[in-house]
Structure 1
Amino acid sequence: MPWLSPRRVPAVLVRYKARRVAHLLSGCVLTALAGCAIYRPQPLHPRPAAQNASALEVPAARMPMPALRSHRFDPSNGLDVTETAMLAVVNNPRLRTLRDRLDIGRAQAFEAGLLPDPQLAASRDILDNPNADVSSAYSLGLSYDLGPLLTRSARVTSARASQRQIRLQLLWAEWQTIAHARLLFDQVHALRAQQHRLQRELTALRGLDASIQKALRSGDLDYAGASAGLDATAQVRNQLADTSRQLDQAESDLRGLLGLAPDAPLRLTGPDWQPRPSAAQVAHAEKDLARRRPDLLALKAGYAAQEARVRAAILGQFPDIQVGFNRARDTSNVHTHGFSIGLTLPLFDGNRGRIAVTRATRQALADAYRARLLATRNDVHRLVAALHTLRGQIDAAAEHAHRMDRAERSATENWRSGALDWPTWLAIRASALQADLQMNRLRRQRAKASIALETLLGGDWTDATTPDAPSPKTGNRSS
């Protein structure tokens, strides 16, 4: 056959081997593509806020605290303080973002465990003037970098510790969100009670204000004599306006924390959350603080991750090694095969800069952990002392408010019977009002300090039998 003549045999062999090389490369490319991810667009759509808490699913098993896991979520007759905290854990927008970070941490841990890919290199030299004495040249090479294998164990350890750090940071954020929900519940409750008290006071003064205005118009009373009555009504009206603004802000903050729409109804029911741990509970929790607080555990996990990074940096100072195998043919039709070894000589860099950075970062994390632990202990002692002081203040304020309430009732009876002038009656009423408002403020301060102490100690004082402990819902307070 003419196509198998001796002159054409080398060209046929060249084309045959070229096809083999092309098939080999095609097979490698197809194998690599088989494991590739596929791009799918994900349009950005705004998530509408919930209009009602009843439309949301709140699984108790996902709650981070025993007091929440053992509580049944039923907002049909209003949200109690525990249900408010449960809803905040599930539906808070900031916690959703932190949970996405946890997915990123898992992906980074997966990435750290992957082995490096080998590298395939191929080349082909085509003859411009082919003849029987020369042939086209080609080369094939397969190489692998052994350097990442030396640091893989340290990188995996660091990634897993970082993933645990993110998980603990999420838990700490959930604890803080629970505390914030309890504080806002108490704030809304207290401001609604204060608003009701001021409205009741304004209603009581409305009759006197009308009488004073009538006396001014008839000339039976001048403005000097009427100033006490006019000032009393104006002050109560201003206090009511300030309280209403504060209440609107607190309700808006609570809706935002719960992930509810701005116009969603906010029905709160039941008592406030005011934990009162015993001195033994506080001492035990403070002693065990480093093993209870998620943020401290997260700092420990971050330190462990950095420790692994230091180890990886030290391992990275060893020469980077690349090994490979190759096969080639030159233009004189000489076939060769062999291997190659490449070394990175650590003469100038030697990874010394990275080692210094990782060690300095490790020291900074250690100092940050010690500073956080010291600050927490100081805050615990400060809050314990504040609660002790507030306990005495509240007892004294409660007794004073009780006396002023009795004085107000007696003064009202005497004023209505004509035995007491109205300026004196107004002065007594003003004192009784301020006593009630002061009592409200002190109770809010106690609630704030108690919830902060519970969060700092990582405690859950559900076994404490106190008058303010959470109990089944007893009534509704509607907005």
Structure 2
Amino acid sequence: MRFAGPPSRMRIAAALVLSACVTGCATYRAKPLPEQASSAASLSQLQGYDPAALSLDLAAIERLVLLNNPDLKTQHARHQAAQAQRRQDGVLPNPSMGGSVGYLISGPGDATAWTASISQDIASLITLRPRREAAKANADGLDASLLWEQWQTLGKARLLVIDLVEGERQIALQRQAMEAQARRESHIVNAVQAGNMERVAVASDLAAAADARAALNDLQRRQLDQRQQLNALLGLKPDVAVPLASSLPAADLDAAAIRAQFDSVSRRRPDLVALQLGYRAQEAQLRAAVLAQFPPLALGYDASQDNSRVRNGGPAVNFTLPIFDHNQHNVVIARATREQLHQEYTVRLATAQDEVDALLAQYAQLDAQRQALAAATDDAVRAASQADQAARAGLIDLRNATDLRVAAINRQLAALVVEQGMLEQQAALELLVGRGMPTSLEQDVMAP
């Protein structure tokens, strides 16, 4: 490097350096927040909606949730921010330049004195590779966390669809029970008013009719709340009607297949992958902290001219003596953080295994209950049908026929509750092992 040129050359060099610094600089443009925002007012406003579909099955709902869920829409911006941070953390450190001018004020000199220097931080170059590795792992870990959010959102949508479809069937049965008891209630009230019955003798029947209405109201309130939750997942206004399929495939879970899939869950489940990538990033940060124990070192070149035109130039070294601070505290912090992440991953993996075992046990219990209820439900339905025929023939009174009819409906409701529970357990297990879930991560990210 030569600094002996005339002042005009120095000005040209300075202008070139300034131009290089300015080139590529970002510009600012204001982006004000919207004053108003609203959810979609109809299904036709949803991305990916098929107007020809008369009803939406579980797969259609999942597709619409992925495309339109308000929370998932922000994931692209979070991904972009993580990638920008990754690029920033991997940028080479800029060299440092300095200079000064000493104008001649008095004395025997006959020229303007000046100094110029350029240097590069070597310590930051030493830690550059582990810092880049940490930045990449952090960015990939965020992508895995975003994918886990997608899975959880889809899992919630699955459960809502199951509850809504099964809830409609329960409401239909509960309405039948209420109507049967309402007919008996009307008959009883007429008989009491005519003096043919004592109200005290039929108080339990009247209470049963009231309980049936209350149970129907509870089911309808829960159904409305779940519909509004599903609309929120889809980005719809609460009052938009979403036509769902009238039935779902029966629960059909292969416990052996679930256990086999769990063996590789650490390479496929995004939350576990995110923890692995976080641990990988911390490993890199620990290596960077260990390398940063060496004294901060800067190498460069200095040149100068005094007022008598005597010029000097040569290499320059600048470093800090590691007497009090040799980055020992940052190394300890990095090691403690690595141990924390190690324990967190171990606990999460063990918890995932326990959750799968617990849900499989619950599913097996529900399956046993379903089989036990099947025969009793069929028997109750047959008895209710025979009682209806006998009541129409005048062989038994309306009160007893209604009791048998309601008993059959209650058995059917119990069977539906068990069926719903099995579908919910199956959905939860599929979420835990990643069965049937989408993936948008690169293979080397999902299987580190």
For 1:233-248, list aligned pairs within 5 A.
233-248=209-224
Which amino acid in structure 2 is aligned with residue 77 of structure 1? L
| TM-superposed deviation, 1:459 | 2.4
The match for 1:111 is: 88
Match of 1:122 among 70, 95, 99: 99
CA deviations on 1:301-332 (whole Å, 9 max, x unpaired) are 22111111111111111111112222223344
| TM-superposed deviation, 1:49 | 2.0
What is the SS of the residue equivalent to 2:127?
A: helix
TM-score calculated relative to the size of structure 2: 0.89
The match for 1:369 is: 345
Partners of 2:98 and 2:116 within 8 A in 1: yes
The match for 2:26 is: 37
The match for 2:442 is: none
Question: What is the rounded CA distance, in whole Å, between the counterparts of 1:122 and 1:265 in structure 2?
Answer: 72
Question: What is the rounded CA distance, in whole Å, between the counterparts of 1:81 and 1:221 in structure 2?
Answer: 52
- Identity of paired residues, percent? 30
Which amino acid in structure 1 is aligned with residue 41 of structure 2? Q
Give the gaps of 5 or more residues in structure 2. Answer: 438-448
Match of 2:16 among 15, 19, 27: 27
Which amino acid in structure 1 is aligned with residue 63 of structure 2? M
The match for 2:258 is: 282
CA deviations on 1:30-84 (whole Å, 9 max, x unpaired) are 221111011112222255322333433349xxxxxxxxxxxxx676322111111
The match for 1:251 is: 227
The match for 1:384 is: 360
For 1:305-384, list aligned pairs within 5 A.
305-384=281-360
Partners of 2:251 and 2:419 within 8 A in 1: no
Question: What is the rounded CA distance, in whole Å, between the counterparts of 2:280 and 2:21 in structure 1?
Answer: 35
CA deviations on 1:123-149 (whole Å, 9 max, x unpaired) are 22345x467745443222222212111
Q: Call closer, same or farther: CA 1:97–1:172 in 2, change over 3 Å.
A: same
CA deviations on 1:73-114 (whole Å, 9 max, x unpaired) are 676322111111111122222222333322222112211221
The match for 1:12 is: none
The match for 2:42 is: 52
Question: What is the rounded CA distance, in whole Å, between the counterparts of 1:296 and 1:131 in structure 2?
Answer: 74
Which amino acid in structure 2 is aligned with residue 25 of structure 1? A
Match of 1:408 among 384, 397, 403: 384
**Residue 76 (str. 1) matches residue 53 (str. 2):** yes
Match of 2:65 among 82, 88, 100: 88
Count of aligned positions = 432
The match for 1:477 is: none
Question: What is the rounded CA distance, in whole Å, between the counterparts of 1:394 and 1:292 in structure 2?
Answer: 32
Which amino acid in structure 2 is aligned with residue 95 of structure 1? L
| TM-superposed deviation, 1:393 | 0.3
TM-score calculated relative to the size of structure 1: 0.83
What is the SS of the residue equivalent to 1:269?
A: coil
Match of 2:190 among 211, 214, 217: 214
What is the SS of the residue equivalent to 1:123?
A: strand
CA deviations on 1:436-463 (whole Å, 9 max, x unpaired) are 22112111111111111122222249xx
Give the gaps of 5 or more residues in structure 1. Answer: 1-15, 60-72, 462-479
Name the stretch that deviates more: 255-264 or 411-420.
Answer: 411-420
Which amino acid in structure 1 is aligned with residue 366 of structure 2? L
Q: Call closer, same or farther: CA 1:410–1:273 in 2, change over 3 Å.
A: closer
